[in-house]
Amino acid sequence: MQKRTLGQGLEVSALGFGAMGMSQSYGPGPDRDANIALLRAAVERGVTFIDTAEVYGPFVNEELVGEALCPVRDQVVIATKFGFDIAADGRQNGVNSRPEHIRQVADASLKRLGTGHIDLYYQHRVDPDVPIEDVAGAVKELIEAGKVKHFGMSEAAAGTVRRAHAVQPVTALQNEYSLWWRRPEAEIIPMCAELGIGLVPYSPLGKGFLTGAIDASTAFTDGDIRATIPRFDAAARQANQALVDLLSTVAARKNATVAQIALAWLLAQQPWIVPIPGTRRLSRLEENLGAADVELTAADLAEIEAAAAKIEVQGARYPEHLERMTNR
């Protein structure tokens, strides 16, 4: 697996692994042992960058990742996140990035992960009631104490990132980014280039839509978050099929899959972009990793850009209450 460097010299595999879906959002999945086996298979295939968060589950995803990676801890970069107020019973009470809370949840995450340090610690969502300088200062203290190696942020506005970066250099931003969600191109990507911050796209396959496996007739299972997302209602899926058709055309010429072209497009945008596709199947893992070997030429990229510019993606990416938590 090729390597890439995020901010502050943090080297990771060109493609990471997002573990969220193993514990939530996509309905019932494989059992714990199968998920552990898949995480270890990812590492065996060269993945060195694994993403989790306290809120996934909540709590159980960190425990899963910690158990799976314990035998190979020195080979991997573990990223997790803070920023939500989560009761002991798992009930979520909004955001919370008060410094004392950050210190408490960092210790809890370390325990669940079974490790002495967190390689990359993201603020999951900005807390509008806590100055971002205080948040960055709290993470800076954790870095000085050896509990955290690098500071990250997720779905924050560019101005907020700049203020945080002035207190504690930001290593990476985790934002949704793909051919069907390109908002980071306006301000986030130019800022990352200016400040030397890496970008970690989550949902790089559009929550599965950019694999070509979902169409207007797809029925989502109970517990699948996509059933609540406007972009996944049947009419939007039918309209957005044009984007999949575009990727399919390029994939056929490149002897690749639709998902591989979607990921290869992201990799071609900047050398410090590291997507973190998630899956619960070995076949999809191997397919995703194959994207690193797909070379898109300048002509390929120009073709995709010209065709994509004519497609207006339909439907909001989140329900309104979740979208309000971003870009602030």
Domain definitions of the chain by residue range:
3-211+266-294
Identify any residues that bridge with 172 across adjacent strands, giving them in sequence order.
152, 198
Annotated active-site residue 56? The verdict is yes
For position 178, what pLDDT does the model report?
98
Q: How far apart are CA 211 and CA 263, in angstroms?
A: 10
Mean pLDDT score, 220-246: 96
pLDDT reported for residue 182:
98
Alpha-carbon dihedral sign for residues 248, 250, 255, 256: negative
Structure confidence at residue 93 as a pLDDT band (50, 70, 90): very high
Q: Which two tokens stand for residue 48?
A: 């060195």
26-42 burial by CB neighbour count: b if 16+ within 10 A, else e?
A: beebeeeeebbebbeeb
Q: What is the mean pLDDT of residues 298-314?
A: 97
Residues 275/201, Cβ–Cβ less than 8 Å:
yes
pLDDT of residue 78: 99
Give the model confidence (pLDDT) of 54-90 as tens digits: 999 999 999 999 999 999 999 999 999 999 999 989 9
Q: What is the pLDDT of residue 25?
A: 93
How much is the pLDDT for 225? Answer: 95
Q: Two tokens at 279?
A: 């899956």
- Give, for 39, the enclosing helix (H) or strand (E): helix 32-44
Could you report the per-residue pLDDT of 258-281, keeping only the tens digit for each?
A: 999 999 999 999 999 999 999 999
Give CA–CA dist 129/109, Å, rounded.
23
Please report the pLDDT score of residue 54 as a whole number: 98
CATH code, residues 3-211+266-294: 3.20.20.100
The Cα 247–Cα 182 span in angstroms is 16
Structure tokens at 97: 């990035």
Cross-strand bridge partners of residue 51: 18, 79
How many CB atoms within 10 Å of residue 247? Answer: 25
Q: What pLDDT, in 10s, does the model give residues 94-148?
A: 999 999 999 999 999 999 999 999 999 999 999 999 999 999 999 999 999 999 9
| pLDDT tens figures, 1-36 | 999 999 999 999 999 999 999 999 999 889 999 999
For residues 211 and 278, give the distance between their C-alpha atoms in angstroms, rounded to a whole number.
12
pTM: 0.98
